[in-house]
Structure 1
Amino acid sequence: MNMRLSSIDILRALTMFLMIWVNDFWTLKDVPKWLQHAKVSEDYLGFSDVIFPLFLFIVGLSIPFAIKNRLKKGDSQKSIVGHVIVRSLSLLLIGVYMVNYETAYNDGIIIGKSFWTILMAVAVFLIWTDWKKSPIPQKLYVPLKSLGFLVLVFLAFIYQGGESGQYWMRTQWWGILGLIGWAYLANALAFLFARGSLIAVIVLWVVFNSLSVLGQTEMAPELNGVLRYFSTIVGGTVPAFTTAGMVASLVFIKWSNNNIGLTYFILAVIGIICIAYGLGTRQFWGISKLRGTPSWLAICSGMGFLLFTLLHFIADKKKRTTWAKFIAPAGTATLTCYLLPYIIYPLHELVNFRLPEILNTGALGLLGSLVFAYLVVLLTGWLEKTGIKLKL
């Protein structure tokens, strides 16, 4: 069986493309409510509330295939554990810097918030670019990575955050990449130690969903001291999306060789059950991304199962992938694609470039943001062709 599925790359590319699009909504006016994130007090699922859960689901889809490929190549379990830990810590570190960009105090930073952010992104490129596949001479690999770390240290040293620069860098909520890092760490290690057992992964999925439910009650555990850093895992909701993706992959691996029709049926049934559970429990918790409710978790997980099934049928069974080539770089150089706006937006601020208001309003604004997302993908593809691609 081919251990790399086109459907996973396409789903990842679609999700990243849409993430860049919805992340640009802050620059627009009159965005339809159904496209936006629901507010914390609302019982509602906006289009934007689905994107991040799907990305976490895709992380889970990829874990069994990635680890099985490493084992097939002869990597030891110990080396894979080391890779998982380093990758997770890298995501957490980048996520912390990105979160602190959001609360940076421009007047208190000697180089200003915008230039601070550009240097942060450049440092990430210096450290995590796969230089072996670039045209850069090998003798420069270590100096470039070292320079990147020095830049991060410098940025931490000069940082001031808050409304008046009253605090230094802090974890806050870890950021998108940090949450992915925690979900990946918990699930990849669990997959390894469970030796890829479908039963064990299903049990883990139930545990995380139960923790999500517990988090909505007064019995939710209070984490203090060092333990508070593990609240993402203990909360259950975020890692549960990734575990759901692992369940989908393991179901596929177990049955697809013998009966792909049965595999599709099982995945679709699981997806429908998840959505039905989410809608059925809505009366207890409501559907809310910001509150991380179990209903939101279940519905978005169900969407993940159904989308994976549909895209596998189209891309892997029917071999129809041409339609997705225009966004392919977002699926193969995903981190590069995600990071580029952290250079583009600050540059936009530094040159003080502004489009006419009509082009940032309503349907025209949404179309403009869609074009922006596609340009980011094109730039990602160009960088990938030149050998510049981030790899953790």
Structure 2
Amino acid sequence: MINKLSTGRILSIDAFRGITILVMIFVNSVAGVQDIPAWMQHAHAEEDRMTFVDVVFPAFLFIVGMSIPFAINSRLAKGDSFWQLQRHILWRTLGLLVLGVFMVNTGGLNAAATGISMAVWALLFYVSVVLVWNVYTFKKSWITWCFKGAGIISLIVLGCIYRGGDDGSHYLTPQWWGILGLIGWAYFYACVVYQLFQGNSSAIFLMIAACTGFYILCQQPFMKEGALNWLTSQEGNAAHLSIVLCGMLLTLFYFDEDLDLKGSRLVSRVTGFALLLALAALWLRPSFKISKIHATPSWCLFSAAICVVVFSLLYFLIDVKRVSRWTSFFRPAGSNPLLTYILPDIVYFGMIALGLSLPAVLQQGLPGIIWCMCFAVAMLFVVKGLNKLHIRLQL
């Protein structure tokens, strides 16, 4: 064991994850609605501002960081060796990267060159995802591996036949890693940091500062023009890693029994952490404006500070005051986040394949916003039903 963490399911983390997924489905859906307020849209790359929409992705990163100490210590407690643990981390990372690459290439598919339509290719991809990463309950393991093997073969075939671009000359490549791919890289680096420093909270705090410093260093002219130019390709990963590490540090503050932060000591430590993140963001903002697209330090630190506050409020309400019955609504999504994440895409491509589309009235203004809210809630109910059918994805 690396840290002595509180045992049992932490409902506030599950609720935070479920709420984030619900908001994610809503903001992804509302992005296609016309005539919506600016505060419901992503800020443009060159603007010096952020909206609540720009906090959804960092909230995912933050929750990944909160979960890593529990996940690693759980596997160690079950008897995993060092190399078994590394194999698990690499497998999860690879899964996120593969999912990310497939998803970002879907929109650029050339149907004529590929031989099948974008919608059919995408639906086959998602079926393959379910086959590979579903949690099977068969007593005979060979049946499980038959399903997984079929999914892996299907992914390979889909990747090989893929052609993109106007002339169909582009192959399936990581033009960028996609949201899941970016999460995958941040997850991998965070696992390395956590193990390297053996869950030491002070070292993790310094690594947050180091990630921020690395991003700033990469912005300097001598880095962009000199022999070290290749390092600047990692500035985004460093920025995302800083958010993951903030989530990891907050988990240690709340749940590491060796730190023994309780009562006023816990409140002062968490409050000080949030204030420090916000003040650092303000200090850096004149030089590095708030920008999600550029993953600037001010955006990272403000987002992490917001996540610290939101989780702390949830923890106080759910785990301290025991007001937790309402969290049952979010629990299915929180326990099956990958399926919940891809489900709206499955619905979207399914509608395209069937030639269906939403009425124009639901694609603009207030009716569109209300529809997106209803759609997000409906997805959580669908996931609840899929959970009962034992369809649960786990990387």
Q: TM-score, normalised by structure 2?
A: 0.92
Distance 1:354 1:218 in 2: 49
Report if the CA contact (8 A) 2:186-2:237 is conserved: no
For 1:273, the aligned partner's letter is: L
Q: Does 1:294 align with 2:297?
A: yes
Structure-2 residue corresponding to 1:317: 320
Distance 1:169 1:85 in 2: 21
- Output aligned runs, 1:334-349, within 5 Å: 334-349=337-352
Distance 1:299 1:94 in 2: 28
Report if the CA contact (8 A) 1:4-1:65 is conserved: no
Q: Does 1:366 align with 2:369?
A: yes
Structure-1 residue corresponding to 2:93: 88
Relative to structure 1, the CA distance from residue 113 to residue 324 in structure 2 (aligned partners, 3 Å threshold; closer, same or farther) is same
Distance 1:272 1:125 in 2: 42
Relative to structure 1, the CA distance from residue 93 to residue 223 in structure 2 (aligned partners, 3 Å threshold; closer, same or farther) is farther
Report if the CA contact (8 A) 1:216-1:293 is conserved: no
Unaligned regions of 5+ residues in structure 2, if any? Answer: 1-5
Distance 2:389 2:223 in 1: 50
Report if the CA contact (8 A) 2:236-2:294 is conserved: no
Distance 1:371 1:155 in 2: 33
Structure-2 residue corresponding to 1:190: 193
Structure-1 residue corresponding to 2:28: 23
My pick for the range that moved more, 70-79 or 230-239, is: 230-239
For 1:345, the aligned partner's letter is: Y
Structure-1 residue corresponding to 2:250: 248
Distance 2:310 2:10 in 1: 14
Structure-1 residue corresponding to 2:78: 73
Structure-1 residue corresponding to 2:16: 11
Report if the CA contact (8 A) 1:91-1:178 is conserved: yes
Could you tell me how far 1:136 is from its partner in structure 2?
Answer: 8.8
Report the secondary structure of 2:221's partner residue: coil
Report if the CA contact (8 A) 1:233-1:239 is conserved: no
Relative to structure 1, the CA distance from residue 254 to residue 141 in structure 2 (aligned partners, 3 Å threshold; closer, same or farther) is closer
- Output aligned runs, 1:124-163, within 5 Å: 124-132=129-137, 138-163=141-166
For 2:372, the aligned partner's letter is: S
Distance 2:109 2:225 in 1: 29
Q: Percent identity?
A: 33
Distance 1:3 1:214 in 2: 41
RMSD of aligned Cα (Å): 2.2
Report if the CA contact (8 A) 2:236-2:295 is conserved: no
Relative to structure 1, the CA distance from residue 232 to residue 368 in structure 2 (aligned partners, 3 Å threshold; closer, same or farther) is farther
Q: Does 1:327 align with 2:327?
A: no
Unaligned regions of 5+ residues in structure 1, if any? Answer: none
Report if the CA contact (8 A) 1:287-1:296 is conserved: yes
Report if the CA contact (8 A) 1:3-1:69 is conserved: no
Distance 2:149 2:385 in 1: 25
Report the secondary structure of 1:284's partner residue: coil
Q: TM-score, normalised by structure 1?
A: 0.93
